[in-house]
Amino acid sequence: MSSFLVPQKIIDDYNKDIFECPYCKEQIPFKTHDLLAPRPCEKCGKKIMIPHRVGEFWLFQQIGSGAMGCVYKAFHEVHQRSIYAVKILQRDAKGDERLIRALQREAQVTAQFGAHPHIVDFITHGWDGDEYYMVTEYIQGGTLLNRIEELGKLSELDALKIMSPIVAAQKYVHELGYLFRDMKPENVLLGKDNSVYLFDFGLSLPLDVAQLDQGMFLEASPIYVPPERLTGEGEDITSEIYSLGMVLYYAVVGQPYFTTAKEVKGLLKQHMSPFRLSSEVTKMGKISKDLADVITKMIKRDRDDRYNDMESLEADINALIEARSEKKLVLKKKKKSAPESNGAQKKVLLTKKSTTPTETTKKKFILKKKS
């Protein structure tokens, strides 16, 4: 939380109907401005958001938004030291019954997965007047998308180390009878301590429902969506593996697997195309062969050709991590204790010779005695 946002002061000022601009101290009426939308202060021009109370949580900074809702940093009215993430519907859609039900369903699904170490913890959900909200833990850091955009691309080892816990989280979701269905770099959180979390279960469905045609593929990111969602075949665990493969490719190359389509329709056609042999050779040429083989198997058009369970994929990814970690260790070891070459041995001998009495010194001594 910003050092100048003091929770108790916000609560006290709210009761007086005054919000003090944290930059210039201008006093702004709490209840007469557009809440939840950052706006410039009339005096200093700095963008500010007037805190807004929902249930027992005070929302004070927007951290994300999507088609369905916005996510805000928030503090609890009583437990003021902790920060939470609160999701609410967009202002122009907060009365939309379909979206309210979708957010309720997301909260109920998320609540089932909180026990896993690589899934964001669910805190609570509820109503406040006409506002429905969901609260989860707040992870300080950024998304996988932020990391890729910042660095251009990730090293293979770093990408695999992020992918491994995500595969474990997806496996856990599957064991509980669900498919995640919205795998993309924006839905992977990376904590400042290098922890990895899966979040945003808005498109998750029970396995038996996911196997049916949902007719709503455009709600997911078209870059990572599995082809069977487009053809109405329904989805299973191999569909999740396809999306994971597309994300892993993007992480290590720095651009999506499909880049030539100008429009969404063209991109979706590429997902369904069986003609990938030539593109596999050119696109995978930027990746080490062992990793390229794994990604190629993950994103096969025919799902019978993909990994058919998360366990097999997890084993191969962990093997790739181990191989790269061992290679790194050997290289480090070599650098520390380089073998002595002939040149190095000569250098040692020369140094030794110059530090002991030489034959020239002995001759000089004899000549002096004779004279």
177-195 confidence digits (pLDDT tens): 999 999 999 999 999 888 9
67 vs 150 pLDDT, higher one? 150
Q: pTM of this prediction?
A: 0.79
| pLDDT higher than 80, residue 325 | yes
pLDDT mean over 158-175: 97
Return the H-helix or E-strand segment holding 344: helix 342-354
Residue 35 banded pLDDT, cuts 50, 70, 90 = low
pLDDT mean over 330-337: 48
What's the CA gap between 237 and 216, in Å, rounded? 18
Sheet holding 188-191, edge to edge: 141-143, 188-191, 196-198
CATH number at residue 166: 1.10.510.10
- For 230-288, the pLDDT digits (tens) are 777 889 999 999 999 999 999 999 999 887 555 456 666 666 666 554 455 578 888 99
Q: What's the mean per-residue pLDDT of the chain?
A: 82
What's the CA gap between 160 and 164, in Å, rounded? 6
- Residue 62: name the closest of 81, 100, 36 by CA: 36
- On whether both 200 and 160 belong to a single domain, the answer is yes
When divided into structural domains, the chain yields a total of 2
Among residues 116, 137, 158, the one where a domain terminates is 137
Q: What is the pLDDT of residue 267?
A: 65
- On whether both 41 and 187 belong to a single domain, the answer is no
In a domain, 337, yes or no: no
Tokens of 297: 């198997």
Inter-CA distances, 104 with 80, 89, 108, 300, Å: 26, 11, 6, 35
Q: What is the pLDDT of residue 329?
A: 59
23 in Cβ contact with 41 (< 8 Å)? yes
In a domain, 356, yes or no: no
- On whether both 130 and 15 belong to a single domain, the answer is yes
pLDDT mean over 19-42: 79
- For 51-78, the pLDDT digits (tens) are 889 999 999 999 888 777 899 999 999 8
Its domain, for residue 293, covers 141-324
Among residues 102, 137, 172, the one where a domain terminates is 137
- On whether both 283 and 222 belong to a single domain, the answer is yes
- On whether both 95 and 166 belong to a single domain, the answer is no
- On whether both 133 and 205 belong to a single domain, the answer is no
